[in-house]
Structures are given as structure tokens and as C-alpha cells.
Amino acid sequence: MNALPLITNWKLAHGRQLVLADQSVLMGILNVTPDSFSDGGRFVSVNQAIAAAGAMQKAGATIIDVGGESTRPGAETVVVEEEIDRVIPVVQALKDELNVLISIDTYRAETATAAISAGAHIINDVRGLQKDKDMASVVADTGAGVVIMHTGREREILDDVIDDQHLFLNHSLEIAARAGIDKSSIVLDPGIGFAKGLDENLALLNRFEELHQFGYPLLVGTSRKRFLGAITGQKVADERDVATAATSVVARMHGASIFRVHNVAANRDALMVADALLHAREEKNA
């Protein structure tokens, strides 16, 4: 990609907005779960969670993404009441104690509604508005920013990774349009690692620029995922941060705007280099 993406103002809940494209945006992962694949059980108390979020903010995170249910393959499903009990005290504390944008990682409309009421600005839906029929209305009614993620779980998948992105995400965007979601509220996520093997994940990174055909800003989340372990031989998830930073740079050079990561500092430095390269290209081509 020879230039930075066009600058976009991402509209969020509570009258907030976030400028995308000019500089990489880091979203820090805060899982308040006992069983997430990388950090399960580390931040189950509110104090632990806020301390971790503060450290991520200090390291350069603009957004903290709070999750109350693990999305790893085979993870135990939690009931909505338990998910709400896990995330809402953390969202409220983040609102009160840190000047940071808050994202709620959920596919449940009830949890999303409670989180936005508690102070969250963004709904990060790993089911792309397609699991809970009420989710799109919650996004529209609250004015929340929304990350619509592609997934291959629980459905037939097309052979070509980009064709499958269009199959799934176009349906999600139709749902969003019918609900009246403002286009300026939408960011898309290709869902790397979600029902995708090594070849599919590498193909998505290699062909990332083709995702700009949708016309929306793009978020990428490769952090510590299994395919990086397959490449590097690192079997322990939190030893895959260098590999994660490498994929973040690749995605940035292909036009990604937001990076959902565990290790904010490592990705910050890597993305500062990518941003400098992109700005140098832009100045040369001006």
C-alpha cells in the first residue's frame, strides 16, 4: 500500500469519536475470564483488571476491550447473567478511574446494553451482528461504535478467503443497514484465527488490501494466536508477542487501522516504525 488510508472519524457512544488512519490505534485486551487462552484468570478482580488496563493505557492503548467470555475454540459458554456480572464492575471502574475508550467484547445484546449504560463506547461483536437478533438495534439505539467481525464458526465456508469475507460481512452490513446503524460507527475485522487454519490466516494477511473494497476501517487481531505458534514453534501463548508485532506491521502496511493486542508496548514500537514508513511514502508521493 503506497499511502495511508483516508482519515475517518469513528463515531462512538456518549458523543465520543476516534480519528483513524493517520496513526495506528492500539486496543488492549482485558479478559476478565478464568479460561481465556492467554490471560485467563489473571484479571478476575476489579482491582487487578484496572491495574492491567492502566498499564496498557500507559503503554499506548487508546481502547481497552473488556471480555467476559473466552472465544477460544472449545471454551465453555457462560450465561448472560454471569457475563454481565464479570464485565460491568470493570467497565464502571474504567469509566471512573481511567480516561480511556472502553470496548465490550460480546455478541449478546443484553450484555452490550448494560455495558454501554455503564460507560462503554464500543461493541466488539465476534459474531458480526448475526448471533443475537437484537444486537444491531442496540448499536443503532445507543450510537455505539461497532466492530463487526467475520467468523467461520457454525456455518459452511467458501474456499476463497476473500470470497468468504464478502459472503459473511455483506450479510452483517445488510443487518446493520436495516437497523439504521450509522456507517461512520462501523469498523470491520476479518476474524483471523476464527475457524481459519494457518493457510487461511496467511492468505488473509497477504491479501489484506482487498478488504478495503468494503469501504470501512479495518481492525486486526492476531495477538498470540495458535497459527503464530505453528509458524514460530512457540507453544506458550505469551511467548508469541514478537510474532504478533510482525503481523501487526504487515497488516498496517496493508492499511489496517486498529490492532487488538495483549502486549501493547511491543506492538506500539513496531507500529511506530510502520507508521513512519507510511508517512515517508506519503510525503514522497505528494
Q: What tens digit of pLDDT does each residue of 159-187 get?
A: 999 999 999 999 999 999 999 999 999 99
Domain assignment present for residue 66? The answer is yes
Domain assignment present for residue 160? The answer is yes
- The confidence score (pLDDT) of residue 7 equals 83
- The confidence score (pLDDT) of residue 40 equals 45
- The confidence score (pLDDT) of residue 21 equals 84
Taking alpha carbons only, the member of 175, 162, 186 closest to residue 254 is 162
As a whole number, the mean pLDDT across the chain is 93
Residues involved in catalysis:
225, 260
Domain assignment present for residue 1? The answer is no
Looking at the DSSP bridge assignments, the partners of residue 148 are: 125, 188
- The confidence score (pLDDT) of residue 286 equals 73
Domain assignment present for residue 125? The answer is yes
Domain assignment present for residue 3? The answer is no
Measured CA distances, 50 to 20, 29, 45, 79, 96 (Å): 25, 12, 9, 24, 10
Domain assignment present for residue 55? The answer is yes
Q: How sure is the predictor about 206, in pLDDT bands with cuts at 50, 70 and 90?
A: very high
Number of domains in the chain: 1
Q: What tens digit of pLDDT does each residue of 86-135 get?
A: 999 999 999 999 999 999 999 999 999 999 999 999 999 999 999 999 99
Range of the domain at 268: 8-285
Residues 6+ apart with CB under 8 A from 86: 32, 33, 44, 68, 78
- The HSE-up count of residue 46 (CA atoms within 13 Å, CB side) is 13
State the Cα–Cα distance between residues 54 and 170, nearest whole angstrom: 36
Q: What percent of the chain is modeled with pLDDT above 90?
A: 86
User: Tell me, what CATH number does 161's domain have?
Assistant: 3.20.20.20
- The confidence score (pLDDT) of residue 36 equals 47
Task: Let me know: does 189 contact 220? Beta carbons within 8 Å.
Answer: yes
Q: What tens digit of pLDDT does each residue of 18-43 get?
A: 999 889 999 999 999 874 444 444 55
- Please determine, for residue 253, whether its predicted confidence score (pLDDT) is greater than 90: yes
Q: Given CA atoms 197, 199, 205, 210 in this order, what sign does their dihedral have?
A: negative
Domain assignment present for residue 280? The answer is yes
> What are φ and ψ of residue 271, in 5° steps?
-75, -25
Measured CA distances, 143 to 28, 181, 189, 239 (Å): 22, 8, 19, 38
Collapsed DSSP state (helix, strand, coil) of residue 27: strand
Q: What tens digit of pLDDT does each residue of 221-235 get?
A: 999 999 999 999 999
